[in-house]
């Protein structure tokens, strides 16, 4: 999710629970490419998973709270006395559905969308999105699916403030209509400069050519260089992004934008032999 995670810190917090004798935290990879934190705990006595998660939620930031906790009689160890991660049981993210059944078609659809995004067979109307392993990236995906299903624009913040299907469904009737999808429009004969482009054009005219806004980049390649392939790859990038092949001619003293055809904007590849020194 873009955060640096130290499983040892989470283990220390979980092991600090008076009802936990041992604890381990691992990163569990998903088929989708996503990853979730899973905690394994050896309780001293009967212990509820919900209590352990609540204990960690009170002491850790959201991105460090494991998606689930697996209770074990003992932690599997290798012959060297280290945690045997390969012997840990697979976690079950399909938490039991809590609360009442969906009462409206909207609630049922939202429950289904929650389940799809979380990769679960079913989600209850009062289940917590983040309690089931959701995070900010999955929340963004869920908001996009809600937009597509209901044609409304729901703020991401609303999901954080009310992370259950019941709350989300209750907001749909008052949510703003979804913003229309971006579509290509016919361009005018003369494209004016944007305010930012006009500012840079003015500086260029006042101060002359400058490398102030250039971004130098050095890439070290190993092996034999295929110059034709490199030239073709650079041409593909320029063809894909119009901003890389836009020039700014003047018409009667007024600057405008001109997007060159891809074949007219293929970058020249100048090769200068050099040495490691």
207-226 pLDDT tens trace: 888 888 888 888 888 888 89
- The yes-or-no verdict on residue 2 having pLDDT over 70 is no
Q: Identify the pLDDT of residue 151.
A: 92
| Assigned CATH for 1-93 | 3.30.300.30
CATH architecture assignment, domain 105-177: Orthogonal Bundle (1.10)
- The yes-or-no verdict on residue 30 having pLDDT over 70 is no
> Highest mean pLDDT: which of 10-19, 134-143, 172-181, 201-210?
10-19
Tokens of 251: 């018409």
Q: Are 40 and 24 in contact (CB under 8 A)?
A: yes
pLDDT 10s digits, 160-199: 899 999 999 999 999 989 888 778 888 888 899 999 999 9
3-state secondary structure of 67: coil
- The yes-or-no verdict on residue 245 having pLDDT over 90 is yes
- The yes-or-no verdict on residue 31 having pLDDT over 60 is no
Residue of 173, 113, 171, 172 lying closest to 144 (CA atoms): 113
Give the E-state strand segments of the chain in sequence order: 20-29, 35-43, 68-71, 152-153, 176-177, 246-247, 250-251, 254-255, 258-259
| Assigned CATH for 184-209+224-271 | 3.30.559.10
pLDDT 10s digits, 61-72: 877 888 788 999
Average pLDDT, the chain: 86
Q: Identify the pLDDT of residue 271.
A: 83
Q: Where are the domains of the chain?
A: 1-93, 105-177, 184-209+224-271
User: pLDDT tier at 152 (50, 70, 90 boundaries)?
Assistant: very high
Q: Identify the pLDDT of residue 94.
A: 61
The predicted model scores a pTM of 0.52
* Angle in degrees, 0-180, between the axes of helices 136-150 and 105-118, rounded to the nearest 10: 140
Q: Identify the pLDDT of residue 84.
A: 92
Query: How many residues make up the chain in this entry?
Result: 277
> CA–CA distance from 275 to each of 89, 143, 272 (Å)?
54, 53, 10
């Amino acid at each position: 999710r873009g955060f640096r995670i130290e499983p040892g810190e989470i283990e220390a917090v979980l092991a600090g629970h008076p009802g936990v004798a041992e604890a381990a935290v691992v990163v569990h990879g998903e088929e989708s490419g996503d990853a979730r934190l899973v905690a394994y705990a050896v309780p001293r006595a009967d212990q509820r998973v919900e209590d352990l998660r609540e204990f960690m939620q009170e002491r850790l930031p959201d991105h460090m709270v494991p998606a689930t906790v697996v209770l074990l009689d003992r932690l599997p160890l290798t012959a060297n006395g280290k945690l045997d991660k390969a012997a840990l049981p697979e976690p079950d993210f399909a938490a039991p559905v809590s609360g009442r059944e969906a009462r409206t078609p909207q609630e049922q659809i939202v429950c289904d969308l929650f389940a799809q995004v979380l990769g679960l067979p079913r989600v209850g109307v009062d289940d917590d999105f983040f309690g089931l392993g959701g995070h900010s990236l999955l929340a963004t995906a869920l908001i996009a699916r809600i937009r597509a299903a209901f044609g409304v624009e729901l703020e991401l913040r609303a999901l954080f403030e009310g992370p259950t299907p019941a709350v989300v469904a209750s907001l749909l009737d008052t949510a703003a209509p979804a913003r229309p999808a971006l579509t290509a429009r016919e361009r005018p004969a003369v494209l004016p400069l944007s305010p930012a482009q006009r500012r840079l054009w003015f500086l260029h005219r006042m101060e002359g050519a400058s490398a102030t806004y250039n971004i130098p980049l050095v890439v070290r390649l190993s092996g034999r260089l295929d110059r034709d392939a490199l030239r073709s790859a650079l041409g593909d990038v320029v063809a894909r992004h119009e901003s890389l092949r836009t020039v700014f001619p003047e018409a009667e003293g007024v600057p405008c934008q001109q997007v060159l055809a891809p074949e007219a904007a293929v970058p020249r590849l100048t090769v200068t032999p050099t040495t490691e020194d």
